[in-house]
Amino acid sequence: MRLVGPAGEQVGIVRIEDALRLASESDLDLVEVAPQAKPPVAKLMDFGKYKYEAAVKAREARKNQTNTVLKEIRFRLKIDTHDYETKRGHAMRFLGAGDKVKAMIQFRGREQQRPEMGIRLLQKFAEDVAEVGIVESTPRIDGRNMVMVIGPVKNKAEAKAEARRATQRADAKAANEAVKAGTEKVDTTPDKAPMTQSLADLLPDGYSTTASQEAAEEAAAQEVIAAEVAAKEAAAQEIVDREKAIQDKADQEVAAAEAAKAAKAAEKAAAEAPKAPAKAPAKAAGAKTAEKPAAAPKPAAAPKPTAAPKPMAMPKPATPKPASKAAPRSTPSRPKPGTSD
């Protein structure tokens, strides 16, 4: 295949394996641009970048693309002068923007018998807009209407470009005027009052103040502010002290209640304890008193008597059933005397 470099230079006819190796070494893509040629032509390029640039170009082309629109303006044969001037102004605006204008005259009733009047009106209209449009189709009868098409002198792209240039010129002119206005010298003649930034100069003559008075007023204001701050701090401190005193009093009452409760519990325990026995005589002279004997242990609580078991109910003797009466036996009848078997 014939290989073209990334900058458009001709590399020559090389094998496909060599072209792929060159593409991998240069971190590019091998794109076949002319598959029908003999040998086929391939180029080293960044394919993603190529697609992006192509999309940008297409978008710019669509942006600059101009579509001519056919605008329609309708007249009556007996149109008034003011209405005619309004229609002509609309037509000139449309033609100046690069659009076509379709002028139409509507005939009604016996007006259809006077087509020459419509032709004269359309010719006058074409002469009035001749500076921005030219006649593309002469007046012709279309049913009850007469139609004439006028095209713009400049196409839509040229009209847009001219409008853009006019806007730029207006902006540049406004910027130049602003610069000139900014560079003008300020008139500082002595007959005018000097510029100042002090509020005291804006006061009337009878209300002029001196620097010492201003300083005194400022010091008095500072003292008032300091007094208010000190009063607020003193009030806050007094509130804190009052809350602290209330808390201390509450703590003392709680401690006194707990002490009274503990003393009452101790008295109750002492009253319930058994009295101690008399002291034993001393064993020897000069010996210390003997220790108190230990209190005797309390006897264990006697177990509660358990309830006696209930006596079991005696079973009732079963009454024997009466024996069934035996059936009477049949005794053979004795033969009467004088009879034989």
Q: pLDDT tier at 20 (50, 70, 90 boundaries)?
A: confident
Most confident of 93-97, 109-113, 145-149, 332-336: 145-149
- Please determine, looking at this structure, whether the domain spanning 2-64 carries the CATH number 3.30.830.10: no
Predicted confidence at residue 140, as pLDDT, reads 92
Q: Residue 102 has what pLDDT?
A: 94
**Domain limits, the chain:** 2-64, 70-160, 221-261
Laid out side by side, the sheet with 100-106 consists of 70-76, 100-106, 145-152, 133-142
pLDDT reading at 171 higher than 80: yes
φ/ψ bin of 181: left (φ > 0), alpha (ψ from -120 to 50), beta (otherwise): alpha
Average pLDDT over residues 177-199: 61
Percent of the chain with pLDDT over 70: 70
- 282: confidence class by pLDDT, cuts 50, 70, 90: very low
Predicted pLDDT at 276: 45
Question: What does the pLDDT read at residue 309?
Answer: 52
Write down the pLDDT at residue 278.
Answer: 44
Strands 41-45 and 29-34: antiparallel
The pLDDT assigned to 86 comes to 93
Q: Model confidence at 121, in pLDDT bands (50, 70, 90)?
A: very high
* pLDDT confidence tier of residue 253, bands split at 50, 70 and 90: confident
All residues at 6 or more sequence positions from 77 whose CB lies less than 8 Å from its CB, including other chains: 105, 106, 107, 111, 114, 117, 118, 121
User: According to the CATH classification, is domain 70-160 in 3.30.110.10?
Assistant: yes
pLDDT score for 107? 92
Which residue would you say has higher pLDDT here, 157 or 331?
A: 157
User: What pLDDT score does 74 carry?
Assistant: 92
- What is the Rg, in whole angstroms, of the alpha carbon atoms belonging to the chain? 67
What is the three-class DSSP state of 100? strand
Residues 255-280: tens digit of each pLDDT = 888 888 888 888 888 887 655 444 44
pLDDT surpassing 70 at residue 326: no
